[in-house]
Structure 1
Amino acid sequence: MTPDELLTKKDLERFKTELFELLKPMVEGGRLVQQKWLRSKDVRDMLGVSHGTLMNFRISGALKFKKVGGIFFYAADDIQKMLSNPEKKSPNRKG
């Protein structure tokens, strides 16, 4: 090994500082910035619903979406609203 291949504690501390500086713009108010758009699998996992239920949400208009090619995208804000209001999670539920 040559001396320029050795890592010192100081090198690692400098790397950590540089990494935090790069990540700082991605952090907002102490939380990582949330993705604006989510794919179907992510939404199904978050809501704990099946593929068919998610499709019913789209068809009934309970959940807005955008389709790009063959991929459905959902606004993260809409999913958050649905999670914070569980009564609306199942739009066909009676009573």
Structure 2
Amino acid sequence: MAAEIITPEDLTRFKNDLLEDLKDLIKAISGNKQLTKKWLKSNEVRKLLGISPGTLQNLRINGTIPYTKIGGVLYYDQREIEDILKGNSVNSLNKNFK
């Protein structure tokens, strides 16, 4: 049985190949399926909707966006926010422009 010697260059090449394969796998996963989490914090909701902290507070106060408060931290269900956005969408094709 012959022994094969592994050089540092072989290990470097293996590492680079492995990293490229992992990058390709991550791109394939994120391209096919949006990685989302169930609960969002206030800063994530503001970034998602492009609104200020005051606007988010007004949406909470008037009941537009439901939330859960645990230990001083506000959490928002991402699915509920998506449903609100879909429910309030306006179809511009049905509008009469003058």
Report the TM-score when normalising by structure 1.
Answer: 0.62
Alignment of 1:1-95 (within 5 A): 3-4=7-8, 6-8=11-13, 10-17=14-21, 19=22, 27=29, 30-84=32-86, 85-86=88-89
Higher strand share: 1
Report the TM-score when normalising by structure 2.
Answer: 0.61
Q: Following the alignment from structure 1 to structure 2, what is the Cα–Cα distance between the partners of residues 62 and 48?
A: 16
The offset of 1:42, in angstroms, is 1.2
Query: What secondary structure is seen at the aligned counterpart in 2 of 1:7?
Result: helix
Unpaired segments ≥5 residues, structure 1: 88-95
- Cα gap change, 1:11 to 1:44, in 2 (>3 Å): closer
Query: What secondary structure is seen at the aligned counterpart in 1 of 2:12?
Result: coil
Query: How many residues were matched structurally?
Result: 81
Q: Percent of counterpart pairs with the same letter?
A: 35
Unpaired segments ≥5 residues, structure 2: 1-6, 91-98
Question: Over alpha carbons, which structure has the higher Rg?
Answer: 2
